[in-house]
Structures are given as C-alpha cells and as structure tokens.
Amino acid sequence: MITRRTAMMGVAMAAVTGRVPALAQDLDLPRQRIELVAPPYVHAHEQATSEGPKILETRLVTQEKEIVIDDEGTRLQSMSFNGSIPGPMIVLHQDDYLELTLVNPATNTMAHNIDFHAATGALGGGDLTLIYPGEQVALRWKATRVGVFVYHCIPGGDMIPWHIASGMSGVVMVLPRDGLRDGAGRPLHYDRVYYIGENDFYVPRDQNGQFKTYASPAEAFVDTMALMRKLTPTHVVFNGRVGALTGKHAMIAKVGETVLIVHSQADRDTRPHIIGGHGDYVWETGSFSDPPQTGVQTWFIRGGSAGAALYKFLEPGVYSYVNHNMIEAVELGATAHFKVEGDWNNDLMMQVKAPGPIQPQPVSGVINKL
C-alpha cells in the first residue's frame, strides 16, 4: 500500500523486498517513556545500567516551518523532527528496544518518514514509517549495536537530500549496558553531554545576490534543488543557525569536568576541533564497539555518520568548537563555544611577558653557548 501511495505522490521509494511485517506483537518487557529535549541538551539517562532490557517509548513530530538561520535574517523553509535542527538525541542501552511514534501533523504539506542508522532492517525503518499529513505511525526496533548513529528522513527520490538539507536529521546514542570504556577496558564517565548537529543549508539568491524567501517548501523546491546540485552550501551551521551555540548560547562546563560531545552530519564530511583542547577519547566512526582513539587534535565525521569525543576541560575560558575547515567555521557559520569556569593553571599555559615594544636582541647569543 505504501508503494502505491508513494507512486501516486510521484515519489520513488526504494524497492521493498520481502514481506512487510504485520503489526508488532507485544514484548514482555518493562516500558519507560523518554521525554526528548532540544539539542544541544540530552534527556536524562543512566550511563551504565544493571537493569534488564526495556522498551523505551518516545515521540517525534515532523515539522515544516520557516526559520531564520543567521544574524542577517536569512529565512529557510525548514523541515525538522520536533521543531529543532538537529532533531533530539535519543539515548538507550544495547538490547533495549526503541518504540517510536512518528507524527505528521495535518498542517504539513509532505510525506515524511525516518531511517535509523542504529536499526537493522530495510531502509532503517523508512518503509514502515512513511506517513502523510494527518497520520501517525509506530515503529519498534532493537538496539543491537553500540555507538552514536544518525537518523534522518528518507521519503524517496529528490525528497531525500532536500528533506535532510532542510533539517531532518538527528542522532541515537546506544550505550553499552555497562557504560563506555577506554581501550584498556577501564570505565569512562561524563559529567555533561552535548549534542551538536551540523547542517549544510542551500538558500537561493535573487538577481541582486540577495537571499530569496519563499512562502512554502514547495515554492522553494526547484531553486533549492538546483543550488544543492552545485554542492556549495550558503550556510554550514551547528544546531540550525549561525550562532546557535555561541555567545550567550555557549555550552557550559567547569574546569575538571568531563564532557561528551556528540557530533553528527547527515550529508557532508566535517572535522570537529576544540581550539585549545583535545579529544581525550574519540570514537570517530561513532562505534562504541571499537576502542577510542586518544589525544586527538581534530577528528573526522564522515557524511552520514556521527562521532563522539570525551574531553576533560583543564583551563577556564571560552573555547571555540569548530569545523576545522575554517572557511566553513568562520565564513559559513560552523562555530560553537564552550564557556568553561574555574581556576587557570599556569603550569599548562601562561603569558610569560605582556605585549610591549620590541626589545633589541643581544649581539652574541648566550643561549647557544656550550
């Protein structure tokens, strides 16, 4: 039925092979509801658990709405999960089940669905979740693999890159039941966790070079697709707009605290870097099955994936967290801030002499004297 309906909409779905399962049977497991929160924040969760597997229930509502994506007031006909770009991070433990209710309000204009990279099954659940305005659907999948995994809308054909580039992606974190470990098997904990979703936006310009506005996503479609095909974004941003995580919106930490930073990009490659800090432990591909890399300066997030980095802040100050393609960071928007409070450690860094006039050098060098 889904295939026929999508054909009627002119949307080319990936072929559904095999039998589409009937409505799920109940599992005899405890249930728990997850109240999702907007990024960069993450809903309350245990880092390790001694309890048995559960069914975790949650709800995502697809939204089509106009948003402002920079300080110049550039407007985008965005699409999102729960109204935030990226969509909320969902945390569960290995062997838990996620039971998602996906909602497409009647006020929307298009079909939406969801592909969970963390899930196993055709289209990551995309075939089983395609819904039209005014519909909802429930999907359950088992978390067999540990790591951080992207989810995104995947309605078929041109709709796929368009919906993703309009904001429809997020992340699932599947933790090992006994928590994170370093390469030697020692437990790792975090005091805070933040989720940064990077997004490339493509806003068409008019004949005068000014960004255009549109009354609806459908009206923006042709111009936006033409621009997307050039693969040159007008904006590369963290959490939906230039400056979403800078200044008074900076992420907070204290000296001595360990912060887990989850970073996703559903389309393009990116390269996170903490200016003045490091990735103490980095799961670059996002898989917690593999030992983390240590002492990393810049890590690589492949388009269509997420990665996680653990860092203990050792000095106070404002740290820029960037996509270390500095053109994308500074010119296109991919910069965030961590504001870290605490005492400065002169042993790690100090200004030995304040700026002043250039002093003459000694004529004969004593430094090199043997």
Binding site residues, Cu ion, CB under 5 A: 112, 153, 163, 168
Cα four-point dihedral sign 298, 302, 304, 306:
negative
- Give the C-alpha separation, 215 to 338, whole Å: 36
110 vs 259 by CB, closer to Cu ion = 110
For 321-358, letters b (16+ CB in 10 Å) and e give bbbbbeebbeebbbbbbbbbeeeeeeeeeeeeeeeeee
- Cis peptide leading into 86, omega within 30 of 0? yes
Q: How far is the CB of 52 from Cu ion (least distance, A)?
A: 35
Q: How far is CA 183 from the centre of its chain?
A: 25
Q: How far is the CB of 169 from Cu ion (least distance, A)?
A: 10
153 vs 308 by CB, closer to Cu ion = 153
131 vs 262 by CB, closer to Cu ion = 131
- Give the C-alpha separation, 346 to 122, whole Å: 55
Q: How far is the CB of 68 from Cu ion (least distance, A)?
A: 21
Query: What is the 3-state secondary structure of 338-363?
Result: EEEECCCCCCCCCCCCCCCCCCCCCC
Q: How far is the CB of 153 from Cu ion (least distance, A)?
A: 3
153 vs 172 by CB, closer to Cu ion = 153
197 vs 279 by CB, closer to Cu ion = 197
- Give the C-alpha separation, 271 to 281, whole Å: 15
- Give the C-alpha separation, 284 to 147, whole Å: 10
154 vs 236 by CB, closer to Cu ion = 154
Residues in the chain: 370
149 vs 162 by CB, closer to Cu ion = 162
Asked if 36 and 58 count as a contact pair (C-beta separation under 8 A), the reply is yes
Q: How far is the CB of 83 from Cu ion (least distance, A)?
A: 13
Instruction: Name every residue whose Cβ is closer than 8 Å to that of residue 327 and which is 6 or more positions away in sequence.
Output: none
Cα four-point dihedral sign 19, 22, 28, 30:
positive
Q: How far is the CB of 38 from Cu ion (least distance, A)?
A: 18
Q: How far is the CB of 285 from Cu ion (least distance, A)?
A: 26
- Give the C-alpha separation, 262 to 192, whole Å: 11
Q: Which residue's C-beta sits nearest to Cu ion? A: 153
Distances (CA, A) of 172 to 92, 260, 264, 290: 8, 14, 10, 17
Q: How far is the CB of 155 from Cu ion (least distance, A)?
A: 5
217 vs 233 by CB, closer to Cu ion = 217
